[in-house]
């Protein structure tokens, strides 16, 4: 065994997967062989969930009962709603509220006594988690506003239904399609920190609720989730300044400020997901307010062309455009990372199930660098 230390597991292969593949040099992302562009522009989030969980895109006869099952499992127990209200009143962080909600879901799981090795039961549990997360998140936000939760709409898909539960009004087609695309773009992305965390927990044969809760916890860290929130806060700062947005960017870079949403651990070119969200941001701008799209495109042009970041392998990532897209959809800024989790839960579940099909407990080693041969001194003599 090699003694080479790989901090952060950089470049270490720990598993094989048929779920997603990233080519960081070409800016290419695929889910089970389909490019992200094909899926985002032609499929629904429900279709992508089916693809990730079952290995193929569904036929009409397969998609209908699958979507119906998701719709029928959206309701959450009253105890969960009461807890969301308490957390909202206590001004809890949305990611922490989501973590609590998923832990509570397990208390009302109808198959809680299922064998951990029954992967079909695990998938059914995962489907329930995926269906309920939007309901719990929307309820939490409504309680923060001092309003009652909105019950799930019986005829809307997962993306449109979340927007409906958030505002109480059915979204228009552009908003619903845009948010559905955003969920597809975030559904999976290789063995990122939260996915790997879920896999590690799954490798112990802990239940899927534990694995998803672990994924949420990992995603809550600022080095993983949250960059789109940072981007939007920067855009608001630009908007509230007395400077032209180009002047603001020039001044910020001269002061050494780092503009969030640029650079990625894997991509050396522009994130393909950012390209798609940029298109949606432009479409939303044409239908409403254009300044957020103008700000992002100006920043990208300045940093890429005049500062040469793209040539250095530092290009816009998915967060650079998702923040302004969510803002244009009326989604509160501190809900961006929970929405990330709402989408990525599909990938977490898929990776846990895939790994458990040929399971081996994930147990890396650390190189010991502490002292040797310490002499023990009894307590009274210390």
Nearest to 345 by CA among 131, 157, 200: 131
Q: What is the DSSP letter of 172?
A: P
Q: pLDDT per residue over 221-254, tens digit each?
A: 988 888 889 899 999 999 999 888 888 888 888 8
What are the residue ranges of helices labelled H in the chain? 36-42, 45-54, 60-72, 78-89, 94-105, 119-144, 158-167, 173-185, 193-203, 208-219, 227-240, 245-254, 272-287, 291-301, 318-328, 336-356
d(CA 85, CA 100): 12
Q: pLDDT per residue over 307-362, tens digit each?
A: 777 677 778 889 899 989 999 999 999 999 999 999 999 999 999 999 999 999 99
User: Is 2's pLDDT higher than 60?
Assistant: no
What's the average model confidence in pLDDT over 142-152?
97
Q: Given the structure tokens 């458990």, which residue do they identify? A: 356
186, 189, 245, 264: the catalytic one is: 264
d(CA 202, CA 210): 8
Q: Given the structure tokens 């923040």, which residue do they identify? A: 323
224, 230, 294, 358: the catalytic one is: 224
Catalytic residue flag (residue 224)? yes
User: Is 77's pLDDT higher than 90?
Assistant: yes
Catalytic residue flag (residue 264)? yes
pLDDT of 377 reads 96
Is residue 53 within 8 A of residue 353, CB to CB? The reply is yes
pLDDT of 127 reads 98
319, 334, 358, 373: the catalytic one is: 319
- CA distances to 88, 146, 233, 295 from 250, rounded to whole Å, are 39, 41, 17, 13
Model confidence at 288, pLDDT cuts 50, 70, 90, reads: confident
* Of 195-199, 202-206, 258-262, 372-376, the least confident: 258-262
Question: Directed axis angle between helix 119-144 and helix 158-167, to 10°?
Answer: 30
Q: pLDDT per residue over 177-193, tens digit each?
A: 999 999 999 999 999 99
User: Is 292's pLDDT higher than 80?
Assistant: yes
Burial readout 20-52 (b: 16 or more C-beta within 10 A, e: otherwise) = bebeeeebebbbbebebbebbeebbbbbbbbbb
What are the residue ranges of helices labelled H in 220-271? 227-240, 245-254
Catalytic residue flag (residue 78)? no
Enter the pTM of the model: 0.94
Angle at 292 between CA 26 and CA 228, to 5 degrees: 55
Q: pLDDT per residue over 8-17, tens digit each?
A: 888 888 999 9
| Domains identified in the chain and CATH numbers | 28-222+344-356 (1.10.580.10), 227-328 (1.10.230.10)
């Amino acid at each position: 065994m090699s003694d080479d230390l790989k901090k952060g597991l950089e470049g270490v292969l720990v598993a094989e997967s048929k779920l997603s593949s990233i080519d960081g040099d070409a800016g290419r992302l695929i889910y089970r062989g389909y490019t992200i562009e094909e899926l985002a522009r032609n499929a629904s989030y429900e279709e992508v969930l089916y693809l990730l969980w079952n290995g193929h895109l569904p036929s009409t006869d397969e998609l209908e009962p699958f979507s119906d099952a998701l719709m029928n499992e959206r309701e959450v127990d009253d105890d969960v709603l009461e807890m969301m209200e308490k957390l909202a009143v206590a001004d809890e962080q949305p990611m922490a509220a989501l973590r609590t909600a998923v832990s509570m879901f397990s208390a009302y799981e109808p198959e809680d006594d299922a064998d951990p090795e029954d992967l079909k039961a695990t998938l059914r549990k995962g489907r329930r988690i995926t269906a309920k997360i939007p309901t719990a998140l929307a309820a939490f936000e409504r309680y923060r506003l001092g309003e009652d939760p909105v019950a799930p709409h019986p005829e809307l898909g997962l993306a449109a239904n979340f927007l409906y539960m958030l505002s109480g009004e059915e979204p228009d087609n552009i908003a619903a399609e845009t948010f559905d695309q955003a969920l597809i773009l975030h559904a999976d992305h290789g063995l990122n920190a939260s996915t790997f965390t879920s896999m590690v927990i799954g490798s112990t044969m802990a239940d899927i609720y534990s694995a998803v809760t672990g994924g949420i916890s990992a995603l809550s860290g600022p080095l993983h989730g949250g960059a789109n929130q940072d981007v939007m806060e920067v855009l608001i700062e630009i908007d509230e300044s007395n400077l032209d947005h180009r002047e603001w960017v020039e001044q910020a870079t001269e002061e050494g400020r780092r503009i969030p949403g640029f650079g990625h651990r894997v991509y050396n070119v522009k994130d393909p997901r950012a390209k798609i969200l940029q298109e949606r941001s432009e479409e939303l701008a044409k239908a409403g307010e254009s300044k957020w799209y103008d700000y992002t495109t100006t920043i990208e042009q300045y940093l890429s062309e005049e500062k040469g970041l793209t040539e250095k392998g530092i290009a816009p990532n998915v967060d650079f455009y998702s923040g302004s897209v969510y803002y244009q959809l009326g989604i509160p800024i501190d809900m961006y990372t929970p929405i990330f989790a709402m989408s990525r839960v599909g990938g977490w579940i898929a990776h846990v199930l895939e790994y458990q099909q040929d399971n081996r407990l994930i147990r890396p080693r650390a190189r010991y660098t502490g002292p040797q041969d310490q002499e023990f001194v009894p307590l009274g003599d210390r």
